[in-house]
């Protein structure tokens, strides 16, 4: 989690993501939206604006995009 409250995630697969895409937990509940994509092309990171009351509960969890 960043100092400004964004969740930082490492991508594990070669998928095409877009800014503003929604992100879901394993129960298909929306947990946030992609704010930024950064880092090396072969192993990028994304920044998510969380929409959950306890974003730290997502640490170590798998999330999915649209």
State residue 11's pLDDT score: 85
Domain at 19, CATH number: 2.40.10.230
Task: Indicate the pTM of the whole model.
Answer: 0.82
Task: Tell me if 20 is assigned to some domain.
Answer: yes
Q: Work out the number of other CB atoms within 10 angstroms of the CB of residue 15.
A: 8
Q: How far is CA 21 from the centre of its chain?
A: 9
Task: Tell me if 2 is assigned to some domain.
Answer: no
State residue 56's pLDDT score: 82
Per the structure, how many domains does the chain have?
Answer: 1
- The tokens for 50 are 């969380």
The 10s digit of each residue's pLDDT in 4-62 is 889 999 887 677 889 999 999 999 999 999 999 999 988 899 999 999 888 888 888 88
State residue 54's pLDDT score: 86
15, 65 contact by CB (below 8 A) = yes
Task: Tell me if 34 is assigned to some domain.
Answer: yes
The boundaries of the domain holding residue 37 are 7-55
State residue 51's pLDDT score: 92
CA-wise closest residue to 65 among 37, 36, 31, 42: 31
């Amino acid at each position: 989690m960043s100092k400004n409250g964004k969740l930082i995630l490492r991508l594990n697969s070669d998928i095409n993501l877009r800014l503003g895409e929604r992100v879901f937990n394993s129960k298909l509940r929306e947990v946030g939206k992609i704010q930024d994509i950064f880092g090396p092309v072969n192993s990028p990171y994304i920044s998510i604006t969380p929409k959950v009351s306890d974003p730290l509960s997502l640490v170590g969890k798998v999330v999915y995009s649209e």
